[in-house]
Structure 1
Amino acid sequence: MQGFDIVAGGQLAALPAFKEKFGVLQDNGSYLIPAHYLSAWNSIAPATEIVATFIFAPLLEKYGRKWGILAASLISAAGVVLQQLAPDWRMHLAGRGVNGIAIGMMFTISPLWIGETCRPELRGFFLCFFNTSIVFGQFAIVVVSQGSSHISGKWQWWLPIVAMYIFPLILTVAWPFFPESPYWLVRQGKREEAKKALRRIYGFEEQGFYEIEASRLEEEIRLTSDLHGNVESRPPRRILGVNVQLEAECFDATNRKRTLTAIFAASAQQMIGATFVIGYATYFFELIGISNYFAASMALYAVMLAASMSAFPLTEIYGRRFLIVGPQFALCFMLLIIGILGCVPDKTKASWGIVALLYVWALIYQLSIGATGFVLASEIATSRLRATTQGLITITNSVWGLIMQFTVPYMINPDAGNLGGKVGFIFLGTGLMAGIGGWYLFPETKGLSFEKLDELYAMNVPPRFFKKVVAEGMSGSNAGELVDKEKAIAENHL
């Protein structure tokens, strides 16, 4: 749902029938979609995601995860209807906004449910699959748009929109068979229901397994409660009548670093330029003069899909931090080269150089922060605040999406900035911030239980030393000595 929607704006903007329907007639007889139309269409979904998630995330904690899937399906279908039948650009805008509400809900539920259901040794694998499903949606909209580009009339732009119905349809059909989060059920004191949910998830005959799993979840909840004290008895905090007690807890002294790390891991994807490369590839290829721009973008998304699937085993073999920190600086280097090529006078040769670099950029991105960023963001939060933290991740990611979706059209559109490849310089700046922040904030979480993460953060171990501390079984004082030693080495170099 999210992958399809992110890329849909750029794909539709490249279709002649869509331009004729919603664009403005130019002096040369062609149609151009104004930059403020594109900005509005592509920023409305992140905006509605922010509002919806602020309201929706607390309800997940109170009523569970499953009900939100059906609600999101119905809302998404309504949004697609509005887009399909829109007589003008404003109605199309409303449809994208309504669909954004559904996407925000599912974007919060999916990684939350995966993180709460999978055992530690499988969590990374399935959270990578979450990212791959987004990339598959991006690839699917490019394929559909390529096919519809050969159709004349309104079905040229209707087909990509009508294809969106498949997502709420699948979710609605599958909803009766979808189990509730066993972790949430245990937290609510519904142990037997949790065991039934586990049986539906795993399908094993051995009843002892489910007793052990339920006990493991109970122990995890108890340890978290011991570390954080009796938080249930604290008085509620309200903003505009909404209880924000859990949100406030996310930013108290105990949880602040974890919350900021989870938010930063997801936000780094936007900071490194994902919206530009993924959301506007087809439209950008057209603007820089690539003749067969649909074929070029199809190949780009095929590369990303293959790379994202390759990240499945890599995240469990090499770990999260290894796959994020170094590659982020490699992505920044390529953005620098893209920016330099944007300054080359020979636009034809420079354009093909930019395309080649975007392919390499997409490959590295999907093998690293694209896939593993979701894994890390979903693992960091303490168990009690996992739903709330995931809601904050969605909100912050949507804020970044809102900024990027609003500004990128003005950067690249001919009637606005018309930057071409020089847009690489802009994302180089934000990408460097993401890389430097990741070096200090991102821990290695491969194979660690949530209880172990709680313990490491409670010991105030710097995140970059998690792997070393776990491997050597250090105490809190030993970890402190490690930090002091690193500082001394740095001072000697200076």
Structure 2
Amino acid sequence: MSTVEREKDKLDADLHVENAAPLALTDAQGHKADAIEAENAEHSMTVLQAVKAYPWACFWAFVMSFTIIMESYDVFLIGNFIALPAFTHDYGVWDPLTSKNVIVPRWQSALQMAGQLGALIGVFLAGPLTSRIGYRWATMVGLVLMNATIFVMFFANSLPLFFVGQLLEGLPWGIFIANAPAYCSEIVPLRLRAPATQVLQLFWAVGSIIVGAVTYVYNSKEGKVAYRIPIALQWIFPLPLMVLMFMAPESPWWLVRKNRDQQAMRSIERLGRKSQLNSAEVVSMMRRVVEMEASTKAPNYIELFKGTDLRRTLIVCGIYAGQNLAGNLIANQAVYFFEQAGMTTNFAFALGLITSALQSVAVMLSWFLTTYFGRRTIYLWGTGFNIVMLVCLGIAASVHPSSGASYAQAVFGLIVSVFFAFAAAPVSWCIIAETSAIRLRPLTTGIGRASYYIIEIPCIFLGSYMLNPTGANLGGKCGYVWGGTALFCWIVAFFFLPEMKGRSYREIDIMFKRRLPARKWKKTEIDVQDDE
């Protein structure tokens, strides 16, 4: 090559470098402009417009939420078995105080906590599994496990085997409960995050309704059929859900995290109407947030306890743990609670079914509540009301025993259960889904749910001991205990729970990084150009 040719090549290379930088800058600016356009579009949507733009996202959130029915069904089922005459006849001991068979407190507690112990293991498996293979495939793995583990419960013929069956069923519960709120919040636009995640509480109530109806029918039956058929009905759910989840789109946020932007665009187009959204702009919005959270390391549990992610983890863990400390255990043991309050077995089962039905209505009404009020506002007022009702429950149980006092306890117990499903419970799912960083979401929701089970397991022992006639036999006086724990939750939430209503994931990331106190979130404005 001649000297002249070498000089020409060098000049061309210099010109290429000079032109490349402005082109790269222009391309980056274009992506940011697209991201801003998509975020502004989500902010400007009303709830109805969001439903019209993303109809299939609503459907797939509904399908994913359906997995929660399986945990709810089994949690309430084993709780109802404790009051089921055929079950207590086969596995209980004679109690001269009540003149009937009862499950002794240690087994009563063990059976109710076995599934939670399995789920505690399951949620730790769910985070790494979902981060690696995605929400769809991780959920399908859980459904296969669910199908298999039901066999152990169905053929169990002793309390230890029922314990093992519950423990194994808990493993897929952990996968479902960790994945569902994260997936639902990631496939819908900003305006639908609250109702999409609150559907989880609706299906929790639906599961209890199904159990209430089934056990109400079978509570008068004699023999093993009274509890074997309710167990077998669990097989209704996994196979249809496996088929639906196989057809479901993967979370576009998860695909963007995996640098699969083209697949993310196709997923968005499957979730919404092409005529009402620009999938390229939506992916740019997601890419902007993912790059803000970018790290050279693979997501791991240690990160959850470092820097600003520690604060986010503590909020998620606190909200999850609080579900067990603000009256939820009375709802989970409703039938047994009503029996201990003095109701007949048939009436207790009927009240349990009514409670579950009212909880479903309450959850649907809560969708309208979260449209107009903030998450923090609803949580504080809802928990505050339940504190008052729990104290009233304790007072009703402290007066001279009478039919009036028994009915008063039943009414206050019902109010606590229903109002929990109207305010604090459904809004908790929304807070949990919004608080975690996109990059660490599967891990955060998993460890958050783990805190739920870690608190629930000793609370189940305490709750069973307080209600059981062979234990403390407190009856409605347990309202004093749960009222005190609910007050603790209210105080912590007042000081540390920020308001995230109407905030994009970018804005939430920025506000956590700026370490804003919880009380300042509602009035703080974040410029649409800000990236940190």
TM-score, length of structure 1 as denominator length: 0.88
- Establish whether residue 287 from structure 1 lines up as the match of residue 344 from structure 2: no
Correspondences of 1:225-244 after superposition (within 5 Å):
225=294, 231-233=295-297
Which of 300, 307, 332 lines up with 2:355 in the alignment?
Answer: 300
- Establish whether residue 341 from structure 1 lines up as the match of residue 396 from structure 2: yes
The one-letter amino acid paired with 2:399 is V
- Establish whether residue 127 from structure 1 lines up as the match of residue 211 from structure 2: no
Correspondences of 1:467-486 after superposition (within 5 Å):
467-470=522-525
Which of 162, 171, 174 lines up with 1:92 in the alignment?
Answer: 162
Which of 213, 222, 238 lines up with 2:282 in the alignment?
Answer: 213
The residue aligned with 1:352 is 407
SS in 1 for 2:221: coil
- Establish whether residue 114 from structure 1 lines up as the match of residue 184 from structure 2: yes
SS in 2 for 1:31: strand
The residue aligned with 2:63 is none
Partner Cα separation in structure 2 for residue 193 and residue 207 of structure 1: 19
Which of 274, 291, 297 lines up with 1:222 in the alignment?
Answer: 291
SS in 2 for 1:469: coil
Partner Cα separation in structure 2 for residue 224 and residue 178 of structure 1: 27
Partner Cα separation in structure 2 for residue 354 and residue 181 of structure 1: 45
Structure 1, unpaired ranges of 5+: 226-230, 237-244, 476-494
Shift of 1:412: 0.6
Correspondences of 1:19-418 after superposition (within 5 Å):
19-26=88-95, 30-202=100-272, 204-206=273-275, 209-225=278-294, 231-233=295-297, 246-275=300-329, 277-291=330-344, 292-418=347-473
SS in 1 for 2:485: helix
Partner Cα separation in structure 2 for residue 332 and residue 208 of structure 1: 45
Shift of 1:145: 0.8
The residue aligned with 2:33 is none
Partner Cα separation in structure 2 for residue 273 and residue 331 of structure 1: 7
Shift of 1:121: 1.1
Shift of 1:400: 1.6
The one-letter amino acid paired with 2:166 is R
The one-letter amino acid paired with 1:15 is L
The one-letter amino acid paired with 1:365 is F
SS in 2 for 1:417: coil
The one-letter amino acid paired with 1:219 is R
Q: Which has the larger radius of gyration?
A: 2
Could you say what the CA RMSD is over the residues aligned between the two structures, in angstroms?
2.0
Shift of 1:152: 3.1
Partner Cα separation in structure 1 for residue 257 and residue 94 of structure 2: 59
Aligned residues of 1:9 and 1:279 also touching (Cα < 8 A): no
SS in 2 for 1:164: helix
Deviations 1:238-288 (A, max 9, x none): xxxxxxx6222111122211111111122211111202x211110111122
SS in 2 for 1:232: coil
Structure 2, unpaired ranges of 5+: 1-69
Deviations 1:174-220 (A, max 9, x none): 23212211111111111121122222222x23496211221111112
The one-letter amino acid paired with 1:224 is E
Deviations 1:424-469 (A, max 9, x none): 1111121111000111121211121010011111222112221111
Aligned length: 457
Partner Cα separation in structure 2 for residue 351 and residue 443 of structure 1: 40
The one-letter amino acid paired with 1:77 is N
Cα separation, partners in 2 of 1:440 and 1:156, compared to 1, 3 Å: same
Shift of 1:25: 4.1
Deviations 1:127-151 (A, max 9, x none): 1111111111112111111112243
Partner Cα separation in structure 2 for residue 119 and residue 14 of structure 1: 44
Aligned residues of 1:79 and 1:97 also touching (Cα < 8 A): no
Identical positions, percent: 25
Partner Cα separation in structure 1 for residue 429 and residue 473 of structure 2: 32
Aligned residues of 1:116 and 1:182 also touching (Cα < 8 A): yes
Aligned residues of 2:126 and 2:179 also touching (Cα < 8 A): no
- Establish whether residue 451 from structure 1 lines up as the match of residue 511 from structure 2: no
The residue aligned with 2:74 is 5
Partner Cα separation in structure 1 for residue 288 and residue 527 of structure 2: 25
SS in 1 for 2:283: helix
Shift of 1:26: 4.9
TM-score, length of structure 2 as denominator length: 0.82
Aligned residues of 1:9 and 1:38 also touching (Cα < 8 A): no
The one-letter amino acid paired with 2:333 is Y
Deviations 1:337-388 (A, max 9, x none): 1112221122422111111112222232112111001110110011111111
- Greater alpha carbon shift after TM alignment, 32-41 vs 161-170: 161-170
The one-letter amino acid paired with 1:153 is G
Partner Cα separation in structure 1 for residue 147 and residue 460 of structure 2: 23
Aligned residues of 1:271 and 1:431 also touching (Cα < 8 A): yes
Aligned residues of 1:124 and 1:315 also touching (Cα < 8 A): yes
The one-letter amino acid paired with 1:254 is T
Aligned residues of 2:86 and 2:221 also touching (Cα < 8 A): no
Partner Cα separation in structure 2 for residue 212 and residue 112 of structure 1: 22
The one-letter amino acid paired with 2:336 is Y
Shift of 1:103: 0.7
Which of 14, 19, 41 lines up with 2:83 in the alignment?
Answer: 14
